[in-house]
A and B are shown apart, each in its own frame.
Chain A
Amino acid sequence: MSDKEASNAYWKANVRLILWSLLIWAVVSFGFGILLRPMLSGIAVGGTDLGFWFAQQGSILVFLALIFFYAWRMNKLDAEHGVGEE
């Protein structure tokens, strides 16, 4: 595989990973935290409902997990496609 093909495949895999990550990013904040909150109102969390928890804390925790997952996955992709820094 040429360098060019390798970097194209790498970029496709990266974009796919970004799209999935951003979907989760949007679902936990705009979704669970705001728009879908009425649907989660049945799930009680400490005196309120799950939507409130996502809006004030849950979304932040998911954001953190997303960034670290992305960094870990990308470092593996770098190596697999031979485009890493070393």
Chain B
Amino acid sequence: MDQFTLNLLFVGASFALYIGIAIWARAGSTSEFYAAGRGVHPVTNGMATAADWMSAASFISMAGLIAFTGYDNSTFLMGWTGGYVLLALLLAPYLRKFGKFTVSEFIGDRFYSKTARMVAVVCLIVASTTYVIGQMTGVGVAFGRFLEISNTSGLLIGACVVFAYAVFGGMKGVTYTQVAQYVVLIMAYTIPAIFISLQLTGNPVPALGLFGDHVASGEPLLAKLDQIVRELGFNEYTTHHSDTLNMVLFTLSLMIGTAGLPHVIMRFFTVPRVADARWSAGWALVFIALLYLTAPAVGAMARLNITELMWPNGTDAQAVSVEDIANNPKYDWMQTWQKTGLLDWEDKNGDGRIQYYNDANAAMQEKAAANGWTGNELTKFNRDILVLANPEIANLPGWVIGLVAAGGLAAALSTAAGLLLAISSAVSHDLIKGQLNPNISEKNELMAARVAMGVAIVVATYLGLNPPGFAAQTVALAFGLAAASIFPALMMGIFSTKINNHGAVAGMLAGLLVTLVYIFLHKGWFFIPDTNSFTDADPLLGTIKSTSFGAIGAMINFTVAYVVASMTKETPQEIKDLVESVRVPKGAGAATDH
């Protein structure tokens, strides 16, 4: 069977499964649509949360980010997992006890303010919409690469599948589809990693192989990798090269942002009890950790494999020849990926060999001059292809490649569905029921939720087909908004009775505006190119990049809220009672009835 048929088979089978679940899990009430009837087992919910959370960025990009930077990008590993500790300890159980359907609803009720609720809704919609664009483009790319159809048709097929299970099934359909998608994506991620770990270290567990010995040289794998990249003039893999302050703030921003992203928080509304919300956050991290403990191994091993392919006889011998790249089956993947434009090479000095090295390094420039090299000849290596190309680089069988295709699509689709659900419930529950038409019947609200979901899918598909030039930067925006506005408001709402309506609104707006301005100053106003006054290489405040500013935005939010609250009228008694009741699990069942 050829590769195309295999890919088609794996992707087709996974899609048939999702559609099957969609038919089985139709939502009949708003409670089922928004919160899956609060009947999801904590382990099931943990698995669904993991698929919801792990997006195309985690599946496709993260290992590549680590592979080409090494230790400095450990920020993603710690940041995107550490947020679950904050969720489990500071938010999830209390929001479940509160027993409503959306994040903004809690903010509106706790701060007895429609303004607060609307600020939260705007943050939520902006953060989720910007985030969903990346997922939709990811779906198009994965289809385009593996099924040899255009990105556009790929994206349209993906959108129809999401439509089927999200519009009809709501949270119920999305939850059970995400469970299936988790199984597909985790197999797709770990199976190639196991093969590669066995090849390189003889250890079937990639996470352990990373710290094991490299079979071919007998040295520790990471020592071998450090040595080989050092010899080519690159930064050592395991040492610290970036700015420490920025590294700390970036990690903290990712953690707070993770805990403040509404599509993750709303998953904890679906479990039956408060205690389940606590366990469920733990289970979510178990399922996330299976991928996150493997990712650094995938990154390091791929970096070693690629470097050794370019220097098959060691860095002191001759580089790989152009002829080998063209004819040797080991290099077929380079031909395949060159077609996508994401990988390229050029024999600049015409010696019939491709020298891959760091041509910005002074010592390497001397060595290059002595050998007649005229610059790095592996001219382009897009970091995003690393995970998708990895099985081909390691020469794994065709079915593994088909599995990876299905896995990448599962990661992008599951996150897209979660985000679309967050957007549609904000529109139907917070805007329509909460603001425009409070007396809407349940049947009509359910219909409104479905229409909102349909519209959101159409908008997301359009944006996925015509991604704004700033698509990549908007992820920083999503995390910045979540960290600077939503997380602090939720946390203060639970842990302080002092913060009143004015404090919360002032805090959210201050955190939000300062963070937005800081991002715009560095990335351009509304992301329009060349309107920025600073760059992330030389930021306004010391070494703090705009992507790391969310943590500072959160501090501003806390401070402003506290100051304003202490100057204005005290929180009324009935709100203090509400906070008291949210803090204890007792009576969670009663709070469920809506």
User: Footprint of B on A, CB under 8 Å?
Assistant: 7, 10-11, 14-15, 18, 21-22, 25, 29-30, 33-35, 37, 45-49, 52-53, 55-57, 59-61, 63-64, 66-68, 70-71, 74-75, 78, 82-85
How many chain-B residues does the 8 Å CB contact rule pick out? Answer: 52
The residue in chain B whose Cβ has the minimal distance to the Cβ of A15 is B495
Stretch of B205-213, B388-396, B454-462 with 4 or more beta carbons under 8 angstroms from chain A: B205-213
Which listed residue (A29, A46, A61) contacts B82, Cβ 8 A? A29
Q: Is the CB of A46 within 8 A of B222?
A: yes
Q: Is the CB of B252 within 8 A of A30?
A: yes
A51 to B78, CA, bound (A): 13
A28: min CB distance to chain B, Å: 9
B572 at the interface (CB under 8 A from A): no
B586 at the interface (CB under 8 A from A): yes
Chain A hits for B408, CB < 8 A: none
6 extra interface residue pairs, beta carbon distance < 8 Å, beyond A48-B211, A66-B85, A71-B282: A10-B583, A10-B584, A11-B584, A48-B226, A63-B82, A67-B281
B240: min CB distance to chain A, Å: 7
Contact with A along B181-204 (1 / 0, CB 8 A): 000000000000000000000000
B273 at the interface (CB under 8 A from A): yes
Chain A hits for B253, CB < 8 A: none
A23: min CB distance to chain B, Å: 11
Chain B hits for A53, CB < 8 A: 211
Interface residues of B in 509-548 (CB under 8 A from A): none
A55 to B478, CA, bound (A): 24
B348 at the interface (CB under 8 A from A): no
Q: B78, B226, B252, B278 — which one has the most chain A CB atoms within 10 A of its CB?
A: B78
Chain A hits for B223, CB < 8 A: 47-48
A30 to B495, CA, bound (A): 24
Q: Is the CB of B584 within 8 A of A55?
A: no
Question: Known interface pairs A64-B289, A71-B278. Does A85 touch B589 (Cβ–Cβ under 8 Å)?
Answer: yes
A68 to B88, CA, bound (A): 9
User: Per DSSP, are chain A's interface residues mostly helix, strand or loop, or mixed?
Assistant: helix
Chain A hits for B77, CB < 8 A: 55-57, 59-60
B269 at the interface (CB under 8 A from A): no
Q: Is the CB of B273 within 8 A of A85?
A: yes
A46 to B275, CA, bound (A): 39
Question: Known interface pairs A29-B251, A37-B240, A60-B293. Does A47 touch B211 (Cβ–Cβ under 8 Å)?
Answer: yes
The residue in chain A whose Cβ has the minimal distance to the Cβ of B294 is A57
The residue in chain A whose Cβ has the minimal distance to the Cβ of B74 is A55
Contact with A along B552-593 (1 / 0, CB 8 A): 000000000000000000000000000010011111110000
Which listed residue (A29, A55, A82) contacts B71, Cβ 8 A? A55
A85 to B273, CA, bound (A): 8
The residue in chain A whose Cβ has the minimal distance to the Cβ of B237 is A48
Q: Is the CB of B81 within 8 A of A83?
A: no
The 9 closest A-B pairs by CB, nearest first: A47-B220, A46-B211, A47-B223, A47-B222, A55-B74, A71-B278, A67-B282, A48-B238, A83-B584
